[in-house]
Structure 1
């Protein structure tokens, strides 16, 4: 064996050097080329699904169980995944999968009806058994990570991504507990599916509205805190959780704009220039003039509202909005006084 040099590197064996040179020479003589890697067709996760069941789960909450028209196997998913649902009206909405990941024949989602919302929840509540909807996914913006200790905090319909996480933590044998908050017990879906003993139900009418310190009191170092619910609850938990815990959260409403600056947005095709105040998004202002503008999550991850930028620079406020010739108008703003969009 050839001894290493002073830095621990072994000298090249003359025999293998000669073999390498001969082989490379043969490649040149024969005109051999590196193998061509075949083009891999991207997976299309857009499909039509049938509503197999509609079930009332709580006040103003229904669950919908979806399956393939041929009852075939569906793509797998993990806790934290959601579906993009394309409604007959053209609206696109995201709903967390809240069923059992081992069930490869159906997906379950749940929707709270918001009469004063943008219309998506009302339309979802109008779907009946046998209806067909187009979905995309599943995809995960709220991944569940294996840990030894968890604190789950769910507010109302925020239980939907948390429910399969609780089941996963139970299977892992982890130390976990769940705090489930809401207005009343009647408004909380899936109470009958939660394991007993580790779940604290805390309703506003019985215990008052909790603050972030109440919810994370006594959290031990090394705990993974998973939180989903209304923006004030999430903001309170974020402000109160200690440095020794890791916080993972998902909003179902956009975060308030706290550091925005006013700017103007010129809509080139529409011939209009709109003033965007410091506390509103470009999307909200544009919707006042163009109600049909496409949008969905309003949090900068789904990409539905991506719009071409014709002039000006974008202040990009989401990891899902990389530098380029477009911007997500739900979160990104203008760096200067004006930006021109292809709308």
Structure 2
């Protein structure tokens, strides 16, 4: 009898524990999702990259070929003007977009995407598949384009390049700082947020079909303490850089990588796999590695999303990405755009 009673007590205790665990699981929040792990160093350390889920709660079109998405979720990290967000699209593609909403609005991210008809499919998927009610994953936000403290600002935007500058303009207006904006585009119909910007202050709108190439005279003779920000097509950003005195600080963000300089061929040892690949002068390291190791992940192939980041054990890297910090570049690289400065790299692959 005592033995039978002890068996009953043990079974009861096990049932109570099981119910308690079930209650804790049911009460656990759905968002954010558990962190995914990605390699961050040649010594095999791993750090969490948080992936969260959001829902498209509103979708509008602020200009021809542009879609504006309102994304809502729980416990979304705060952000500051200049930050960008990775969208993990339903197909698995990862695309990066600047946040253009209000940083003070908790639980909401807003992004705008222009349709690139001859692109690689990411913008088309955003336009065709992200509808109200669609749930997607996001990574970030990150900020490689922060707004610095300055007494005065000059902003130059080209088309969809207005998106990271829009929260900056709102911030400097609220702070009472002096500022000017030159907003360029193909036509007024293709330039988003014109209704908010025109009449908001010292704004020059320069559609190419009306005014031709933009006049950059506002950059001449600027006081050294004036901060200059530009975002848009490569041609516009290069023109701004050439107009400013040599050595003058310039804050810029590219939506596409700068045209890469020609690279020499090199070898990459894949240490854990026991293989060595030769990377031709016109070939990406990612392509050479995936020919041997097809499982190596990638997405944007432009140095923005970080999916193909891998640890570097030895060798000097020619970093060409738009993502990694200087500290991160000490022992890792993005395979899609970066190369070797010497003849050989050793990767922890």
Structures share fold, TM-score greater than 0.5? yes
Provide the secondary structure at the position in 2 that maps to 1:168: helix
Whole-Å separation in 2 of the counterparts to 1:291 and 1:114: 29
Task: Report deviation, 1:201.
Answer: 1.0
Whole-Å separation in 2 of the counterparts to 1:123 and 1:109: 14
Whole-Å separation in 1 of the counterparts to 2:276 and 2:126: 33
Superposition RMSD in Å:
3.2
Aligned pairs, how many? 294
Q: Return closer, same or farther for 1:292/1:62 CA change in 2, 3 Å cut-off.
A: farther
The equivalent of 1:323 in structure 2 is 330
The equivalent of 2:206 in structure 1 is 202
TM-score of the superposed pair, with normalisation by structure 1: 0.74
Task: Report deviation, 1:190.
Answer: 0.9
Whether 2:52 is the aligned partner of 1:50: answer no
The equivalent of 2:300 in structure 1 is 296
Task: Provide structure 1 residue ranges, at least 5 long, that are not aligned to the other structure.
Answer: 1-41
Task: Report deviation, 1:235.
Answer: 1.9
Q: How does 1:304-323 map to 2 (within 5 A)?
A: 304-308=307-311, 313-317=315-319, 319=326, 321-323=328-330
Whole-Å separation in 2 of the counterparts to 1:273 and 1:43: 29
Whether contact under 8 Å (1:303, 1:320) holds in the other structure is: no
Whether 2:260 is the aligned partner of 1:254: answer no
Whether contact under 8 Å (1:321, 1:328) holds in the other structure is: no
Task: Report deviation, 1:135.
Answer: 1.0
Higher relative contact order (CA 8 A, sep 6+): 2
Higher helix share: 2
Task: Provide structure 2 residue ranges, at least 5 long, that are not aligned to the other structure.
Answer: 1-46, 321-325
Whole-Å separation in 1 of the counterparts to 2:296 and 2:62: 32
Whole-Å separation in 1 of the counterparts to 2:287 and 2:202: 41
1:111 to 99, 110, 113: 113
Whether contact under 8 Å (2:81, 2:168) holds in the other structure is: yes
Whether contact under 8 Å (1:93, 1:297) holds in the other structure is: no
Whole-Å separation in 1 of the counterparts to 2:76 and 2:297: 31
Whether 2:163 is the aligned partner of 1:157: answer no
Whether contact under 8 Å (1:61, 1:111) holds in the other structure is: yes
1:174 to 174, 177, 180: 177
Whether 2:71 is the aligned partner of 1:66: answer yes
Provide the secondary structure at the position in 2 that maps to 1:254: coil
Whole-Å separation in 2 of the counterparts to 1:233 and 1:112: 17
